[in-house]
């Protein structure tokens, strides 16, 4: 399967505020997997182990962040809170429902609202290479980037892409984009994507390290 035939937008992009736009042609993962989650990984102090509804997958999210999943889309107040923190309107956020399974955001932030977006798909070719994860920054000025293979807390495989620079719409960005193989409590062939946008490069790496250790 060629690179271009695997392209699919996961979310609306850095300029829109959700900061998720990687291209991979994937079939949405069946949410009724029989795989059991790993009992090993846990969330450190200051974080909450949060389950993605419908999937055998949990990850550490900073305590105090506001989390929205597909199960919460009828909660108008919650949708409004999350959309506002991401500088979006509730209608646009609901329209992007197919691009995410969980969003968590620091809704109490007075300046920049750090956030993470989780999506889960089936991929035939395993973890995506650096050039595909790097597509999340397409159209923006990238001042630094790094790619590394990592091992999760449950012993699974993961790929981590970090980058930062200037948005095409103005302002700066610092992201960590994580792809986790299905070994971490999900069905074989499943890849879970976690896109983190943070206030600094160090903070993005810190959040990514905690997520990797928690899955």
Count Cβ atoms within 10 A of the Cβ of residue 187 and give its class: 0-12 exposed, 13-18 middle, 19 or more buried.
middle
- The larger pLDDT score, comparing residue 39 to residue 150, is at 150
How many structural domains does the chain have? 1
State mean pLDDT over 150-164: 94
CATH of the domain at 48: 3.40.1000.10
Backbone angles phi, psi at 210, to 5 degrees: -65, -45
Which of 101-110, 129-138, 175-184, 206-215 is least confident? 175-184
Mean per-residue pLDDT of the chain? 81
Distance CA 160, CA 176 (A): 7
pTM confidence score: 0.82
The string of pLDDT tens digits covering residues 7-42 is 333 333 443 443 433 333 233 333 333 444 444 677
The domain in which residue 140 lies consists of 4-214
């Amino acid at each position: 399967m060629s690179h271009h035939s695997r392209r699919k937008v996961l979310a609306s992009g850095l300029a829109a505020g959700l900061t998720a736009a990687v291209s991979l042609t994937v079939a949405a993962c069946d949410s009724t997997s029989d795989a059991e989650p790993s009992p090993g990984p846990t969330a450190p102090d200051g974080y909450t182990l949060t389950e993605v509804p419908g999937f055998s997958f949990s990850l550490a999210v900073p305590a105090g962040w506001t989390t929205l999943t597909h199960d919460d889309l009828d909660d108008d107040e919650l949708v409004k809170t999350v959309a506002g923190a991401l500088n979006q309107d509730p209608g646009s956020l609901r329209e992007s429902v197919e691009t995410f399974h969980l969003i968590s955001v620091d809704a109490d932030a007075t300046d920049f609202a750090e956030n993470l977006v989780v999506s889960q798909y089936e991929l035939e070719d395993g973890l995506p290479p650096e050039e595909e994860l790097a597509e999340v920054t397409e159209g923006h000025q990238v001042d630094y980037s790094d790619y590394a293979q990592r091992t999760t807390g449950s012993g699974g495989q993961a790929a981590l892409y970090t980058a930062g620079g200037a948005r095409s719409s103005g302002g700066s960005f610092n992201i960590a984009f994580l792809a986790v193989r299905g070994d971490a409590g999900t069905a074989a062939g499943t890849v879970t994507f976690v896109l983190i946008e943070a206030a600094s490069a160090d903070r993005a790496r810190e959040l990514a390290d905690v997520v990797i250790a928690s899955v």
